[in-house]
Amino acid sequence: MLFPLIVGVIIQFHFAFSVSVNVVLTALILLVSLAVPIASKWPFVSRLYVPASVITFYLIGGYLGSLNDSRLHPKYFWDEASAEASNFACKIVEPPEEKVNSIKAVVQVFQRNDQAVTGKTLLYFQKDSAANNLRYGDVLYFTGRFNQISQNNNPKEFNYRRYLRIHDIHHQLYLKSENWSWQRNEGNSLVKSIFDLRHYLSEVIQESGMNDKNVMVANALLLGQKELLDKEVLRSYSSAGAMHVLAVSGLHVGIIMLILNFIFSPIKKRRAGKWLFLSLVVGGIWFYAIITGLSPSVLRAAVMFSFIVFGKELQRETNIYQSLMFSAFVLILIEPYIIFQVGFQLSYLAVLGIVYLQPKISNWFYFSNTVLDKAWQITAVSLAAQTATFPLGLYYFHQFPNFFMLSNLIVIPLAFVLLIVGVTYLVLHFVPIVSHLLLLVFDSLLSLLNLGVEWVERLPYSILWGISIEWFEVVAIYITMLLAVIGIRKRSFQLIASSSVLTVLLLLFNILEKTQISNENKVFIYNIKDELAVDVFYGMENRFYASKTLMQDESKLLFHVKHNWFYRSGQEQPTEYEEIQYLKTLKCGEHNFVFADTVLGQPLIADFSSIDYLVIHDVSYVHSENVKIFQEFSLNLIVLPSVKYKVVNYLKSNLESSRVYDVKESGCFELTF
Q: Give the C-alpha separation, 467 to 393, whole Å.
A: 10
**Confidence band (pLDDT; 50, 70, 90) for 316?**
low
Kindly tell me if the per-residue pLDDT of 285 is higher than 60.
yes
Asked if residues 345 and 17 have their Cβ atoms less than 8 Å apart, the reply is no
Q: Give the C-alpha separation, 559 to 555, whole Å.
A: 6
**Confidence band (pLDDT; 50, 70, 90) for 96?**
very high
Q: Give the C-alpha separation, 45 to 33, whole Å.
A: 10
Q: Give the C-alpha separation, 13 to 7, whole Å.
A: 10
Asked if residues 568 and 594 have their Cβ atoms less than 8 Å apart, the reply is no
Average model confidence (pLDDT) across the chain: 88
Asked if residues 584 and 606 have their Cβ atoms less than 8 Å apart, the reply is no
Of 49-53, 57-61, 166-170, 334-338, least confident by mean pLDDT is 49-53
Asked if residues 110 and 91 have their Cβ atoms less than 8 Å apart, the reply is yes
* pLDDT reported for residue 319: 66
| Mean pLDDT on 566-579 | 93
Kindly tell me if the per-residue pLDDT of 550 is higher than 80.
yes
* pLDDT reported for residue 326: 84
Beta bridge partners of 180: 142
Q: What is the dihedral of CA 505, 507, 512, 515, to 10 degrees?
A: -170
* pLDDT reported for residue 32: 80
Q: Is 407 exposed, middle or buried (0-12, 13-18, 19+ CB in 10 A)?
A: buried
Q: Give the C-alpha separation, 228 to 568, whole Å.
A: 33
Q: Report pLDDT digits (tens) over 608-660.
A: 888 999 999 999 999 999 999 899 888 999 999 999 999 999 999 999 888 99
* pLDDT reported for residue 45: 65
| Mean pLDDT on 105-116 | 95
Kindly tell me if the per-residue pLDDT of 10 is higher than 60.
yes
* pLDDT reported for residue 60: 94
Kindly tell me if the per-residue pLDDT of 231 is higher than 70.
yes
Residue 112's φ and ψ, nearest 5 degrees, are -125, 120
Q: Give the C-alpha separation, 557 to 612, whole Å.
A: 28
More confident residue, 291 or 73: 73
Q: Give the C-alpha separation, 180 to 189, whole Å.
A: 24
Q: Report pLDDT digits (tens) over 252-284.
A: 888 888 888 888 888 887 777 888 888 899 898
| Mean pLDDT on 589-601 | 92
**Confidence band (pLDDT; 50, 70, 90) for 87?**
very high
Q: Give the C-alpha separation, 33 to 536, whole Å.
A: 65
Kindly tell me if the per-residue pLDDT of 41 is higher than 70.
no
* pLDDT reported for residue 52: 86
Q: Give the C-alpha separation, 147 to 309, whole Å.
A: 46
At 224, the amino acid letter reads G
Q: What is the CA radius of gyration of the chain?
A: 29
Looking at mean pLDDT, say which of 199-203, 366-370, 518-522, 597-601 comes out highest.
518-522
**Confidence band (pLDDT; 50, 70, 90) for 7?**
very high
- Compute CA 298 distance to the chain's CA centroid, rounded to the nearest angstrom: 15
* pLDDT reported for residue 672: 95
Q: Give the C-alpha separation, 50 to 72, whole Å.
A: 31
* pLDDT reported for residue 102: 94
| Mean pLDDT on 291-304 | 75
* pLDDT reported for residue 241: 81
Kindly tell me if the per-residue pLDDT of 355 is higher than 90.
no
Helix (H/G/I), strand (E/B), else coil: 100: coil
SS3 per-residue string spanning 251-308: HHHHHHHHHHHHHHHHHHHCCCHHHHHHHHHHHHHHHHHHHCCCCHHHHHHHHHHHHH
* pLDDT reported for residue 248: 67
* pLDDT reported for residue 44: 66
Asked if residues 271 and 315 have their Cβ atoms less than 8 Å apart, the reply is no
More confident residue, 7 or 319: 7
Helix (H/G/I), strand (E/B), else coil: 89: strand
Q: Give the C-alpha separation, 650 to 624, whole Å.
A: 10
Residue 594 CB contacts under 8 Å (≥ 6 apart), including other chains? 583, 584, 585, 586, 608, 611, 613, 614, 615
Where do the DSSP E strands lie in 43-137?
86-92, 97-98, 102-112, 115-116, 120-126
**Confidence band (pLDDT; 50, 70, 90) for 288?**
confident
Can you give the pTM of this predicted structure? 0.83
At 373, the amino acid letter reads D
Q: Give the C-alpha separation, 306 to 285, whole Å.
A: 8
Centre a 10 Å sphere on the Cβ of residue 80 and count the other Cβ atoms it contains: 9
Asked if residues 27 and 55 have their Cβ atoms less than 8 Å apart, the reply is yes
Strands 180-185 and 541-546: unpaired
**Confidence band (pLDDT; 50, 70, 90) for 373?**
confident
Kindly tell me if the per-residue pLDDT of 38 is higher than 70.
no
Q: Report pLDDT digits (tens) over 480-512.
A: 999 998 999 888 999 999 999 999 999 999 999
How far CA 625 is from CA of 16, 197, 212, 482, 559, in Å, comes to 49, 63, 56, 67, 38
* pLDDT reported for residue 531: 93
Cα angle 249, 329, 355; round to 5: 55
Kindly tell me if the per-residue pLDDT of 308 is higher than 70.
yes
Residue 491 CB contacts under 8 Å (≥ 6 apart), including other chains? none
Q: What is the dihedral of CA 542, 543, 549, 554, to 10 degrees?
A: 10
Kindly tell me if the per-residue pLDDT of 286 is higher than 70.
yes
Q: Give the C-alpha separation, 106 to 378, whole Å.
A: 40
Cα angle 132, 133, 139; round to 5: 115
Asked if residues 196 and 137 have their Cβ atoms less than 8 Å apart, the reply is no
| Mean pLDDT on 91-105 | 91
